[in-house]
Structure 1
Amino acid sequence: MTVAVMWEARAVPGRGEELLAWARAQELPVAPVRRETFRAPQDRVLVITWWDAEPGAEDLPELPEPAEGTVTRAVHRWRFESVDVV
């Protein structure tokens, strides 16, 4: 089974490049099958990691919260299980 872990944060205005660099530099204790980093308007950064794991696996590593003052709100995190690959 494939589980995707999504991590999304919105930087304080003008600090999007700093947040992007920070997210890209974060190493996880175990390498995922795949990791992809995105940016979007309003200084948003999204990191998706793909894992060969069972749904509900609690031990999948995630990026931490960035330093205080870097983001406008708490990081949003979601986990999804794959249901179809085309």
Structure 2
Amino acid sequence: MTVALMWEARAVEGRGEELLAWVRGQDLPARPLRREVLRAPGDRVLVITWWDAAYEAELPELPEPAGELVARAVHRWRFESLDG
């Protein structure tokens, strides 16, 4: 089964590039099948990682950035792939 973890944060206004750099500098203790970093207006950054694992498996996730970098708590979602 393939599980996708989604991690989304909103930077404090004007600090989107700093949040993006922070995300890109974060290493996970295990390597996912795939990792993609996206950004959107409003200084938002989204990271999706894909894992070959059971839905309930303990998987490494990005931590919370320092409080002064983000405008709110990180949002996290878990999905299972239905294709393939």
| TM-score, normalisation: structure 1 | 0.95
Match of 1:73 in 2: 72
Structure 1 stretches of 5 or more lacking a match? none
Q: Identity percentage over the alignment?
A: 75
Cα offset, 1:56, TM superposition: 1.3
Q: Secondary structure at the match of 1:23?
A: helix
* Structure 1 match to 2:81: 82
Which contiguous aligned blocks of 4+ residues in structure 1 show a shift greater than 3 angstroms? none
String of CA shifts for 1:11-67, please: whole Å, max 9, x gaps: 00000000000001100000100000000000000000000001111x200000001
Residue ranges of structure 2 left out of the alignment (5+ in a row):
none
1:2-41 map, 5 Å: 2-41=2-41
**Which whole-Å CA distance do the structure 2 matches of 1:38 and 1:24 have between them?**
11
SS of 1:37's partner is strand
